[in-house]
Structure 1
């Protein structure tokens, strides 16, 4: 997997405890449905708490795995690896 670390737009719903669940993301002006969230972990990088989502989706007719990060302090999403 290649590290991208680029900000992206994500559509997500939030559980009652405040945890986001990503549903769709915009990638290269195309909307991609997140088919499966494989795992979710919490991590602290440089004092910032982040949630790491390991996901998979069909992109360009290929099943691909990727990682999304959600920064809790700023509420921003990053496409971390693909």
Structure 2
């Protein structure tokens, strides 16, 4: 996977404890639906807590894996790896 770390527009829902779940996002004008979340972990990057989502979706007929990051302090979403 290639590291891109670009900010994205995200539609997500939050469960009762407040954990965000990504639904779909826009990247370079394309809308990608998050079909499966494989793993959720948490890390600190330069002192900022981030949730890391390893996901997969069908894009143009091919199954693609990617990583999304959610920065807890600023509530911003990033496409980290594609």
The normalised TM-score by structure 1 is 0.97
For residues 43-62 of structure 1, what are the structure 2 equivalents within 5 Å?
43-62=43-62
Distance 2:46 2:73 in 1: 12
The normalised TM-score by structure 2 is 0.97
Aligned residue number for residue 41 of structure 2: 41
Aligned residue number for residue 67 of structure 1: 67
Distance 1:57 1:15 in 2: 22
Distance 1:13 1:51 in 2: 14
Distance 1:27 1:47 in 2: 26
The reply to whether residue 24 of structure 1 matches residue 17 of structure 2 is no
Aligned residue number for residue 9 of structure 1: 9
Count of aligned residue pairs for this structure pair: 82
Distance 1:72 1:64 in 2: 26
Offset at residue 31 of structure 1 (A) = 1.2
Offset at residue 27 of structure 1 (A) = 1.8
